[in-house]
Amino acid sequence: MTIISHPSDLRLQAAAATGPRVLVPTMGALHAGHLVLIRRARELAGPDGTVMVSIFVNPIQFDRVADLAAYPQPLEADLAACREAGVDLVFTPAPGTMYHPDRSVTVTESSLSQSLCGASRPGHFDGVCTVVLKLFLLSGCGLAVFGEKDFQQLAIIRRMVRDLDLPVTIVAHPTLREPDGLALSSRNVRLTPAQRAAAPQLRQSLLAAKTRLATGIREVSELLETARMEIESSPLARIDYLSLVDAETLQPVTRIERPAVLAAAVFYGEVRLIDHVGIAP
Ligand code: PAF
């Protein structure tokens, strides 16, 4: 496994790589959810292709300094996990090498990023789009694998690929969950035992609203109220947003006439978790 820490070296190494080049962009603190993305990348690359994993805690996508500072960075364990998973190349740049101090170009998606995490974390998706575009360009990947947990991120990256004619096929992989339903996330390790015990309520609340819909309740406000009450049944939970959006435009809806998504971000202490469920009309 080759480990590269400078962007220009990635460009050189990747250009010399054989077969399909498949990228899994990550911020490290790898867990089973990342490992399934890497496995999928291995399948897509085949034995002769090149699986590349980027490990970079991208500072420009964080809206809270404390969140960036607390983001786990177990690099040695991550490298061991990549080696074990059959990764060919790991790109792990220092922030100073990714961004010029006077950088002045940012990629902005201006529609899908107006709601949900984009609304509650200003600038977040500018940071994501900018780093992902740079990673695509440096790695020359033809395929990139992303998790469906960050479904707004996935939609925005697909839009960026479409609108900028990037020669990259985006492959999505379903969310991996703990047995109690909590979506796997690098942030889960920061939960206290009490917060960890409360956190599965996030998923359960979204499912409870979906169940109400199945029983004939069509009022969006009522569905949101169901989910809100379930989440807030834990005193440890603080809702950042809870919203029902159109599955394509990601704009909030007042009636369920097309496929929609019920999504929430909830703080457990300082740890912000997200989850969503699909809603059929
Ligand atoms: O989903 C993530 O881990 C990050 O947003 C990504 C795509 C690696 C960009 O920094």
What CATH number matches the domain at 2-173, 3.40.50.620, 3.40.50.720, 1.10.3720.10, 3.20.20.70? 3.40.50.620
CB 195 within 8 A of CB 218: no
Residue 39, pLDDT score: 98
Give residue 61 CA to ligand 1 midpoint distance, Å.
Answer: 9
Type of residue numbered 130: T
181-195 confidence digits (pLDDT tens): 999 999 999 999 999
pLDDT at 164: 98
Taking the model in full, what pTM does it have? 0.96
Instruction: Report, in this order, helix, strand and coil percent for the chain, each rounded to 5.
Output: 45, 20, 35
Question: Which residue's CA is the closest to the ligand 1 atom numbered 1?
Answer: 26
Q: pLDDT tens-digit profile of 193-217?
A: 999 999 999 999 999 999 998 888 7
- Probe ligand 1: pick from 121, 153, 188, max atoms within 8 Å of CB? 153
Tell me the C-alpha to C-alpha distance, in Å, between residue 142 and each of 20, 31, 40, 170: 7, 24, 14, 9
The pair of structure tokens assigned to 217 is 């309740």
User: Which CATH number does the domain 186-275 belong to among 1.10.10.10, 3.30.70.270, 3.30.1300.10, 3.40.50.300?
Assistant: 3.30.1300.10
Please compute the mean of the pLDDT values over residues 61-80 and round it to a whole number: 95
Question: What distance in angstroms lies between residue 230's CA and the mean position of ligand 1's atoms?
Answer: 29
Say if ligand 1 is within 6 A of residue 273 CB: no
What pLDDT was estimated at residue 72?
93
Distance CA 53, CA 183 (A): 21
Task: Encode pLDDT of 83-110 as tens digits.
Answer: 999 999 999 998 899 999 999 999 999 9
28: Cβ below 6 Å to ligand 1?
A: no
At 251, the pLDDT band (50, 70, 90 cuts) reads: very high
Kindly state the percentage of the chain with pLDDT values over 70. 100
Distance from the CA of 252 to the center of ligand 1, in angstroms? 24
What is the whole-number distance in angstroms between the Cα of residue 134 and the centre of ligand 1?
A: 12
Q: How many CB atoms lie within 10 A of CB 99?
A: 15
Q: Give me the pLDDT at residue 225, please.
A: 96
Is the shortest distance between the CB of 152 and ligand 1 below 6 Å?
Answer: no
- Going from N- to C-terminal start, the domains of the chain cover 2-173, 186-275
Quote the CA–CA distance of 45 and 49 in Å, as a whole number: 4
**Catalytic amino acids?**
34
In this structure, the residue with its CA closest to atom 7 of ligand 1 is 25
Closest ligand 1 atom to 61 CA: 10
Asked if residue 24 lies in contact with residue 157, where contact means CB atoms within 8 angstroms, the answer is no
**Using one digit for the tens of pLDDT, what is the confidence trace for 206-248?**
999 999 988 887 789 999 999 999 999 999 999 999 999 999 9
- Residue 101's pLDDT is 94
